[in-house]
């Protein structure tokens, strides 16, 4: 890639959008519309949030979520 051939206006427009985003916009962007939407668009922060929430849900259920292998060893 040759930096001399890049369109400077496109780069400055992209950088301007990043500067215009506030902390509130960033946090609201992390929340996906649906669970499937987070995976379909490939937004890693949204997928990470879904995974963390799923992990909290599994840990709150407690021993009912144990893997079957721990029941078979008894």
Domain residue extents for the chain: 7-63
Q: Cα(24)–Cα(60) distance, rounded to whole angstroms?
A: 29
Note the pTM of the prediction, 2 decimals: 0.58
pLDDT at 42 over 60: yes
Task: Give residue 27's pLDDT.
Answer: 87
Nearest in space to 63 (alpha carbons), one of 48, 74, 50, 47: 74
Cβ distance 55 to 73 under 8 Å? no
Q: What phi-psi label fits residue 62: left (phi over 0), alpha (psi between -120 and 50 degrees) or beta?
A: left
Asked whether residue 69 carries a pLDDT value surpassing 80, the answer given is no
pLDDT score recorded for residue 48: 94
């Amino acid at each position: 890639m040759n930096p001399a051939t890049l369109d400077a206006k496109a780069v400055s427009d992209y950088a301007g959008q990043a500067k215009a985003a506030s902390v509130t916009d960033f946090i609201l962007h992390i929340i996906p519309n649906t669970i499937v939407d987070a995976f379909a668009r490939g937004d890693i922060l949204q997928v990470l949030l879904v995974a963390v929430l799923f992990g909290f849900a599994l840990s709150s259920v407690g021993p009912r979520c144990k893997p079957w292998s721990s029941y078979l060893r008894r």
